[in-house]
Amino acid sequence: MNKRGAFMKNFISILVLALVPALAFAAERPNWAYPETDKVLPPRTDDGKPKTVPGSTKSYTQAQMDDGFNPPDWFPDEHPPMPRIVGHGNGTTVRACTLCHLTSGEGHPESSGLAGLPVPYLIRQMADFKSGARKGGRAASITAIAKAMADDDVRTASEYFASLKSSVWTKVVETDSVPKSYVGPGAMRLPHPDGGTEPIGNRIIELPQDPARATSRDPKSGFIAYVPRGSIAKGEALVTTGGGGKTIACAICHGPTLKGLGEWPRIAGLSAIYVVRQLYDIQSGDRAGVSAELMKASVARLDVDDMIAIAAYVASREP
């Protein structure tokens, strides 16, 4: 069976499952998955001098790295030719895609990973942002961009990110305690400069492997997702078997290795808190559209513990 046939078979299967009555359930909103810049921040020093990242011959000041229409391209020889809309936006109302999603398409936990996702899926998501079908705590900025982007630019950007090969970007670590942290400018969570630890509780805390490289938008420096102990095993049961009726096995749509199937996107290797956001947004109705409607039956019975477990497992898989 070709990919199109497999996609249609799974589409019909999930549509049938979606018609099965599901227990009404509303999980508590996991606010930690929707980072917002803290009102009080540690002092930030910037000497204004150009900075570098390992392996690159480029240098940029912090102001240049934060330029929404000209973010850094540290390794220009290591990706396909970059369309103007991706690297620079439209110069007025649309910022460069790489400001948040990076030249590699891997993105940051507060945004999303786009590398290798199917073109039709990416185009459909931009249409959903534009129409208001996707809304909620992290949608405002991309909604404004989607409304301002020309259709040709949406397709061009989608084709660029679809052409990229995804890499291992998130390392999942089970733990009881995590470094104390804060949410800095741009909504990236960072280790607190005063150090110390705190209980992880019922959360996922995602931090850069190297904060300086992450805030420099280095496409070669990933993240660590700290998750509660036992999350990965619990997530594996939910993802692979449905957890005895708690959900629906993810492989039906996302493929046996969770790397996508047809127009269904990969979920393997995505940011853990991003996955939690999507599960909650679909359950709460903040994410609608065709794809989300077909996920309703899968998320209807999930509580936050389940979402954490599913996210921990899929984030730990090779993309």
Cα distances (angstroms) measured from residue 59 to each of 52, 56, 65, 128: 5, 8, 9, 37
Mean pLDDT of 197-226: 98
In the CATH hierarchy, which fold is given to the domain comprising 62-162?
Cytochrome Bc1 Complex; Chain D, domain 2 (1.10.760)
* Cross-strand pairs, 228: 175
Instruction: Check residue 45 and give its pLDDT.
Output: 81
* pLDDT at position 157 over 60: yes
What does the pLDDT look like over 54-97, one tens digit per residue? Answer: 999 999 999 999 999 999 999 999 999 999 999 999 999 999 99
Which residue carries 């497999």 as its tokens? Answer: 6
Least confidently predicted of 38-52, 150-164, 302-316: 38-52
Measured CA to CA, the distance from residue 98 to residue 75 in angstroms comes to: 13
Mean pLDDT of 132-151: 92
pTM equals 0.91
Which residue has better confidence, 270 or 289?
270
What does the pLDDT look like over 101-138, one tens digit per residue? Answer: 999 999 999 999 999 999 999 999 999 999 999 997 78
Q: Where are the domains of the chain?
A: 62-162
8 Å CB contact between 135 and 252:
no
Report the 10 Å Cβ neighbour count for 18.
16
- Spatial neighbors of 109 by CB under 8 A, at least 6 apart, are 35, 188, 189, 206, 223, 225, 271, 272, 273, 274
Mean pLDDT of 145-149: 97
Mean pLDDT of 238-247: 96
Measured CA to CA, the distance from residue 319 to residue 107 in angstroms comes to: 14
Percent of the chain scored above 70 by pLDDT? 92
* pLDDT at position 1 over 60: no
Least confidently predicted of 2-16, 244-258, 277-291: 2-16
Instruction: Check residue 9 and give its pLDDT.
Output: 47
Best CA proximity match to 42, nearest among 185, 151, 157: 185
Measured CA to CA, the distance from residue 156 to residue 220 in angstroms comes to: 24
Percent of the chain scored above 90 by pLDDT? 86
Sheet holding 205-208: strands in order across?
A: 170-175, 223-228, 205-208
What does the pLDDT look like over 12-55, one tens digit per residue? Answer: 444 444 444 444 567 899 999 999 999 999 988 888 999 999 99
